[in-house]
Structure 1
Amino acid sequence: MGFPRGRRRLVMAVVALLATAAVAIIVHRVLAPAEVSTVARADYPAPARPAAGVIGRLPVAPLIVDSRLRVYAAHRQVYADRPVDGRHRTSPYWSYRRWPAELVGVVASGTTVVSRWSDGQLVALDAPTGRVLWRTDGPVPAESGAVVRRTGAATVWDPRGLHLTDLPDGRVVLVVTGDAQARGVELSGGRELWRVDLPGRCRSDVGTTASGQLIGLDTCAGPATVEFRDAATGAVRERWRPPGGSDELLVTPLGCRTGRSDCPALRTAGPGDAGGRGWLLGTGEPVAAPALDPAGAMLVGEQAVVVLDGVVVGRSARTGTELWRSAHLGTVRVLAGQPGRVHLLTEANDLVTLDPVSGRQLSRFSLNVGSDGTGWAPGAVAAEGGYLAVERLREPVDPDGDDRRYYLTAEAVILAAT
């Protein structure tokens, strides 16, 4: 005996309504914006002091934080592992994930790690615990068009539009830019200090100075001009062009603490220039520093280090006075610098680390791990806290190849203590 026709229709309508509601709930749970924060459940590790040499290899690029953790970028996740000198990547010490936004940049200062997301959200995490310290809205990131490869090196070593700088009063400011807007945010609590409109893609970021300014390159009206914007107020303090310079400029920050943050110098060059002109930055106009003119010159502290005719030369960046030279290293290139260390790479992929003040050799060893060998070309590089990490690329390098062709191995990043 069945239901009367009217009641059957009612039951069918109720079932259909319940099914629709169930599907809606499932879709909401899957697609709705969400975040998952997994905090640390172990003690904060002590700083490691490994002997000089290769530590290990990693599938992704590490950002060394507080000399205790390695922080990594994934598509929708920022996470950390330990120990900092571990041979391989380990289970996350803490993790922070958002959906559906994508992670576009990570910077760190002290024990604060700041992540930037594709929807403009800025999230600061506490390195010892992974807990969220603050959240705030920032400008939506500009479309870069750059290929984001699997190591995430561009996200943690060179995040565009995301910079740190130190103010004279000791505060640290996070400067965030997009196509149409820039904002300054106090790192300690996430308080917005200022926001200004930008003219668009005719203006681009160069980095931040060590004296609390955002460097921009403005080509919107007339010849290319370098602008220096106060990171405390957002006001443009200086607009500058190198004397006798070209109407078009390529501006490269030098000596930065990390990525393009806290840079004490820059190099300007015109189209087709083999080298350029080096400049030291302060509170006024840039000061010419000819020791930084060569394209391969690197600023490490107060010293300019460059390879000239096969000889490594260290000079005072301010006076140009030669401090030391080393002619016994063979064919080398200046790879990276960090406080108290300048790193050179030989033809055989030996890593040579010198004291930039005296030229004294601090360490030398082969950048080889396991049976990988040394037949590779260096890609992106980061040096921080006495560590050096290098992407290893398959030779001949194919910049248009997929990741499998581009990188030497699945664990493409080699990590060394220097």
Structure 2
Amino acid sequence: MAKAGRRRAVVALVAVLAVAASVAVVARVLAPAEVETVARDPYPEAPAPTVGVIGRLPVAPLVVDGRLRVYAGTRQVYADQPVTGRHRVTPFWSYRRWPATLVGVLTEGTTVVSRWSDGKLVALDARTGRVAWRADGPEPGSVPKPRRTFAAPVWDPAGLHVARTADGRDVLLAAGPGAVGGYALADGRRLWRADVGRGCRTDVGSTASGDLVGVDTCAGPAAVELRDAGTGAVRTRWRPPDAPGQLVVTPVGCRDGHSGCRGLRTAGPGGEHSRGWLVTDPGEPVAAPGLDAPGSVLDGERVVDTSGGVVVGRSPRTGEELWRRADVHPARVLAQEPGRVHLLTDRRELVTLDPLTGASRSEFVLDVGRDGIGWRPGRAYAVDGYVAVERVREHATEADDDQGWFLMAESVLLAAT
């Protein structure tokens, strides 16, 4: 009996140890963690790319400092180089978090800011991949799952913008349901936080004059709210004359993404009552008739408008025609950046214009290898003369899965203009 009792005790002890080991393994696997894989090679020089299509990629890139390409994954931010590489290659550096998921990436200079589903903001030094700072921001709320290129989180990060204050400070702005905050981009220090209405306001961008632009319906008809990026104080609450009950606000003339924008377009949900406005100075927006046409874009004191079948340069303040290009095949604006407007024709030619004069900076067909031009553009992005665009199947619908939506596995084209 004693021997049987000892045997049962041994079995019980083994079982307890096994359970304890399993718990330890589960805890180690599921515990919050981050993995920082820094660069081993020196920071690369900026290449001088040849004008034309550089290559194709399976995911959407952010071009940083003219030297790196930064990408997003479900739980990862990573970079490769050179920026002119024909395909995606082994990461130059990588940063992972668990169990939070990545919801947005924004770059400013050599700072790469990532936003996560738990509200954490993590800034990386693009030159090394090292964490520069961490901060607790507003939780982003529900964000649609991105398609496999992850273009939405990197080219249009929800609720994440940068504004430059009058004294030259760069402020990171993070907005979520019920709260918005401002953080010093240099070190992540929180400058302010404001509680705002939940479910009755959205933030759409930042202005060149240093304001966060929001659309607020919490206290009545939709109004545009301009909030000082440096202090969080609401400087202006404004509603366009004769505005519809529901208001859609689109930033235009932006320095990068939806940040540092010089203008806005207001309209109803179906595009009716489209009106253009300048927001280059503090105070209420100023009417800009030259920006009224949906799809027109702003660069400094020029509007580029393709709505009439030809490409026209206008004055934003008066709408006066300043130049015309009737020789460009029917085209639409694909992307815009300071000093360049990139047009895509129905022949899949990428025509890059100088918005000041209308002169062509470059023209070439967006094609590589034997891929052909049987596609339509999805999301697009431009910075420092580089243009990237998703290629979508001509007859795809939003209901299609990624295989039915994208033209091929490497669906993103990257070009230099």
**Matches of 1:124 and 1:187 in 2, distance apart?**
9
- Once residues 369 and 2 of structure 2 are traced to their aligned partners in structure 1, the CA distance between those partners, rounded to angstroms, is 74
Within a 5 Å distance, the mapping from 1:64-79 to structure 2 comes to: 64-79=63-78
TM-score normalised according to structure 2 size: 0.97
Instruction: Give secondary structure in 2 for the equivalent of 1:14.
Output: helix
Aligned position for 2:296: 297
Is it true that 1:48 corresponds to 2:40 in the alignment?
no
Partner of 2:191: 193
**Counterpart residue number, 2:278:** 280
CA-based RMSD of the aligned residues comes to: 1.3
- Which moves more between the two structures, 325-334 or 91-100? 325-334
Find the counterpart in structure 2 of residue 342 from structure 1: 341
Residue identity matched to 1:417: A
Which runs of 5 or more structure 1 residues have no equivalent in the other structure?
Answer: none
CA distance in 1, matches of 2:45, 2:81: 10
Superposition deviation, residue 259 in structure 1: 2.0
Residue 329 of structure 1: how far off its partner (Å): 1.1
Conservation of the 8 A alpha-carbon contact between 1:331 and 1:346? yes
> Within 2, Cα distance between the matches of 1:272 and 1:149?
25
Q: Structure 2 CA distance, aligned partners of 1:166 and 1:89?
A: 33
> Partners in 2 of 1:174 and 1:71 — Cα distance?
19
* Partner residue, 2:12: 13
Q: Distance in 1 between matches of 2:34 and 2:268?
A: 46
1:403 paired with 2:406, answer no
Aligned pairs for 1:72-91 (under 5 A) are 72-91=71-90
Could you say which residue in structure 1 is the equivalent of 2:367? Answer: 368
Q: Which residue identity does 1:76 align to in structure 2?
A: R
**C-alpha deviation, 1:80, in angstroms:** 0.3
Separation in structure 2 between the aligned mates of residue 207 and residue 331 of structure 1, nearest angstrom: 30
| Residue 211 in structure 1 maps to residue 209 in structure 2 | yes
How has the CA–CA distance of structure 1 residues 131 and 151 changed in structure 2, closer, same or farther, with 3 Å as cutoff? Answer: same
How far apart are the structure 2 equivalents of 1:273 and 1:9? 77
What TM-score, normalized to structure 1?
0.97
Deviations 1:131-176 (A, max 9, x none): 00111111111214x3410000000000011111111111111111
**Contact map agreement 2:296 2:307 (CA 8 A) in 1:** no
Counterpart in 2 of 1:58? 57
* Correspondence 1:115 to 2:114: yes
Counterpart code for 1:350: E
Aligned partner letter, 2:42: D
CA distance in 1, matches of 2:117, 2:402: 23
Quote the Cα distance in structure 2 between the aligned partners of 1:79 and 1:103.
12
Matched, 1:378 2:377: yes
Aligned 8 A contact 2:305 2:313 in 1: yes
1:202 aligns with 2:192: no
1:322 has 2:316 as partner: no
SS at match of 2:368: coil
Q: How far does residue 206 in structure 1 lie from its aligned partner after superposition? A: 1.4
* CA offset digits 1:258-278 (Å, max 9, x no partner): 221111110001243446100
- Deviation per residue, 1:90-130 (Å, 9 max, x gap): 10000000010000000010110000000111100000000
Return the alpha-carbon distance in structure 2 between the equivalents of residues 308 and 160 of structure 1.
28
Q: Which amino acid aligns with 1:370?
A: G
Stretches of structure 2 lacking an aligned partner (at least 5 in a row): none
Q: Distance in 2 between matches of 1:393 and 1:300?
A: 28
Please state if 1:244 is matched with 2:235: no
The letter for the 2-side match of 1:360 is: A
Q: Distance in 1 between matches of 2:183 and 2:308?
A: 46
- Sort the Cα spacing of 1:74 and 1:3 in 2 relative to 1 into closer, same or farther, 3 A: farther
Q: CA offsets per residue over residues 304-324 of structure 1, 9 Å max, x none?
A: 001143211012223433221
Contact residue 157 and residue 258 of structure 1 kept, 8 A: no
Distance 2:287 2:38 in 1: 48
Structure 2 match to 1:160: 158
Q: In the aligned structure 2, how far is the partner of 1:17 from the partner of 1:147?
A: 41
Q: Which moved more, 1:87-96 or 1:243-252?
A: 243-252
Q: Deviations over 1:351-390 (max 9, x none)?
A: 0111111111111101001111011000001000110000
- The within-5 A match list for 1:87-236 is 87-144=86-143, 146-236=144-234
Match of 1:4, SS? Answer: helix
Aligned counterparts of 1:203 and 1:57: Cα–Cα separation in 2: 38
Aligned-partner Cα distance in 2 for 1:342–1:325: 14
- 2:52 partner amino acid: G
Report the Cα offset of residue 297 of structure 1: 0.6
Identical pairs, percent: 62
Paired with 1:309 and 1:234, the residues of 2 have a C-alpha distance of 41
Cα separation, 1, equivalents of 2:138 and 2:157: 14
Task: Provide the C-alpha distance between the structure 2 equivalents of 1:412 and 1:55, rounded to a whole number of angstroms.
Answer: 13
User: C-alpha separation between the residues in 1 aligned to 2:256 and 2:3?
Assistant: 76
Other structure's SS at 2:208 match: coil
Paired AA for residue 183 in structure 1: G
Q: How far off its partner does 1:35 sit?
A: 0.5
Aligned residues: 416
CA distance in structure 2 between the aligned counterparts of 1:284 and 1:406, rounded to whole angstroms: 43
1:257-268 map, 5 Å:
257-268=255-266
With 267-276 and 90-99 compared, the bigger mean Cα shift is at: 267-276
- State the 1:279 CA deviation: 0.2
Task: Judge conservation of contact 2:294–2:307 (CA < 8 Å) in 1.
Answer: no
